A = this chain, B = another copy of it.
Amino acid sequence: MTSDLEALKRDMLRLGHAARAAAEILAQTPTAAKTAALKAAAAAVRAAGPEILAANREDVEHAKARGLAGPMLERLVLDAKRLEAMAQGLEDIATLPDPIGTEIARWQRPNGLDIARVRVPLGVIGIIYESRPNVTADAGGLCLMSGNACILRGGSESFRSSTAIARALSSGLEAAGLPAEAIQLVPTTDRAAVGVLLTMTESVDVIIPRGGLSLIERVTAESRIPVIKHLDGICHVYVDGAADEAKARQVTLNSKMRRTSICGATETLLVDRRAAGTLLPLLVADLLGAGCEVRGDAETQAVDARVKPATEEDWRTEYLDAIISVRVVGGVDAAVDHINTYGSHHTDSIITENAVTAERFLARVDSGIVLHNASTQFADGGEFGMGAEIGISTGKLHARGPVGAEQLTSYKYMVRGNGQVRP
């Protein structure tokens, strides 16, 4: 065992060194070469289609044999359409503005020093994710466009698919004259590899976990490298007493039911007591009518016999399913307190026609995304106009909200002088 772990460490360190070397080259690579590599990678994914799909069939068979089913299995499956979407995704990333080299700010000092704050890549990004094999292409492409090398660690169930995809990406990089090691997949399903990756402080600059709560918790506990966290999305809609009926109904229904499995889906509806006799019955009827299970407090249960009782645990639960918890609260401040206590600082929306109440909600709710009269399902880099995203950060450090190419960068100060010395 010990010698196995030593061998694993050596392999991982080799991966790290190669990534660091690739990152140094990528940091100096002009936009045209990066977009050429992304286009070549897209072509390589299309060319390797049969190979990728065959690898995926193997993954799916093994997963079925191990009892995987339902949405987890569904996420794992690739077909011609998903393959084309993956290639198209890489081409879309190639059309994004290159953040690297951008002057964020520039100013002169009284002593004549010229100070520029310029965007640079982060360096090497470690991405740890679960079953969806398309993340291999999405994350690899986004890291490349932002000038970063990446070390990808996919889920073991999608290992064969991800390996085939990563091979296609590397051939695209090489075709464009860039180092194949700019996008590397950890070449083993050994769980210990994650533990090693999280301690490679010399060769990895940031860790981005994408997955369920247990993965995020393990990464937070073990990582010696800074983490951009993508925690669960316990999102809320608060329907104020001054809400417009039509907006309240359409936004609530869309926030919960458009897609129930995404992190921006609403899990708890808060309704102002002033609207308990008017809007609440309509909202509950809409949700029940759409096939959503409703778990409510006493006031909500009084509205419809089909409403089940909500427990304290419900306010803390990310269902990711057609279930919603509903609570009647005494106005905007009570709503804010509930959200800041039970929420996950992800995305929360207020429905009201009162601008003062809306601004109070936007200012006080401590979440990455706060909305007024709009669906929580807009919590998405694409919907924000940022192009592809690697996830939604619920942390406050570095990046908050959608993490796109720009959020995968750092900056440096370039100071130009003429012989200045400090008095």
Contact among B221, B246, B370, B418 with A414 in the assembled complex (CB-CB below 8 Å): B370
Name the residue among A246, A363, A369, A396 with the largest chain B CB count within 10 angstroms: A396
Q: CA separation between A396 and B410, bound complex, in Å?
A: 6
Asked whether, in the complex, the Cβ of B375 is within 8 Å of the Cβ of A420, the reply is yes
**How far, in whole Å, are A397 and B383 apart by their CA atoms in the complex?**
25
A384 touches B369 (CB 8 A): no
Interface contact A364-B28, CB-CB below 8 Å: yes
Q: Per a CB cutoff under 8 Å, which of B123, B221, B397 touches A398?
A: B397
* Pick from B363, B383, B412: contact of A400, CB under 8 Å: B412
A337 vs chain B, min Cβ distance (A): 10
Inter-subunit contact B109/A397 (CB<8 Å): no
In the complex, what residues of B have CB within 8 A of residue A362's CB? 414, 416
Which of the candidate stretches A250-258, A297-305, A324-332 sits at the interface with the other chain?
A250-258
* Minimum CB distance partner of A259 in chain B: B422
How far in angstroms is the closest Cβ of chain B from A338? 14
Give Cα A244–Cα B420 distance, bound, in whole angstroms: 13
Cα of A395 to Cα of B201 in the assembled complex, Å? 11
Q: Are B367 and A397 in contact (CB-based, < 8 A)?
A: no
What is the total number of copies of this protein in its complex? 2
Taking a contact as CB atoms under 8 Å apart, the answer to whether B258 and A395 are in contact is no
Subset of 12 A-B contacts with CB under 8 Å: A28-B363, A109-B383, A205-B396, A226-B395, A246-B419, A250-B421, A258-B422, A372-B414, A374-B418, A374-B419, A374-B420, A400-B412
CB <8 Å contact, A401 and B420: no
CB-CB under 8 A from A340, the residues of chain B are 24
Contacts A107-B385, A227-B226; is A113 near B374 (CB within 8 Å)?
yes
Instruction: Provide the bound-state CA to CA distance between A255 and B397, in Å.
Output: 32
Q: Which 4 pairs of residues, A with B, have the shortest CB-CB distance? A: A374-B417, A254-B421, A247-B419, A396-B410
Q: A384-B115, A396-B122, A398-B398 are in contact. Are A371 and B410 (CB under 8 A)?
A: no
For the complex, give the distance between the alpha carbons of A253 and B421 in Å. Answer: 9
- Chain A residues with a Cβ under 8 A of chain B: 24, 27-28, 107, 109, 113, 115, 120, 122-123, 201, 205-206, 220-221, 224, 226-228, 244, 246-247, 250-251, 253-255, 258, 340, 358, 362-364, 366-375, 377-378, 380, 383-385, 395-398, 400-401, 410-422
Q: What B residues does A364 contact at CB under 8 A?
A: 28
- Nearest B residue to A101 via CB reads B363
B residues within 8 A CB of A226? Answer: 226-227, 395, 397
Residues of chain B lying within 8 A (CB to CB) of residue A27: 366
Closest B residue, CB atoms, query A358: B416
How distant is the Cα of A397 from the Cα of B393 in the complex, in angstroms? 14
A370 contacts across to B, CB distance below 8 A:
412-415
B123-A396 in contact (CB<8A):
yes
Shortest beta-carbon distance from A361 to chain B in Å: 10
CB neighbours (8 Å) of A400 from chain B are: 410-413
Q: Are B419 and A412 in contact (CB-based, < 8 A)?
A: no
A369 shortest CB reach to chain B, Å: 5
Most interface-central of A28, A340, A367, A375 (chain B CB within 10 A): A375
The answer to whether B227 touches A224, judged by C-beta atoms less than 8 angstroms apart, is no
User: Across the two chains, which residue of chain B brings its CB closest to A115?
Assistant: B384
Partner of A373, one of B205, B372, B416: B416
Contacts of A385 in B (CB 8 A): 107, 109, 115
Q: Which B-chain residue is minimally distant from A372 (CB atoms)?
A: B416
Name the B residues within 8 Å of A369 (CB-CB): 412-413, 415
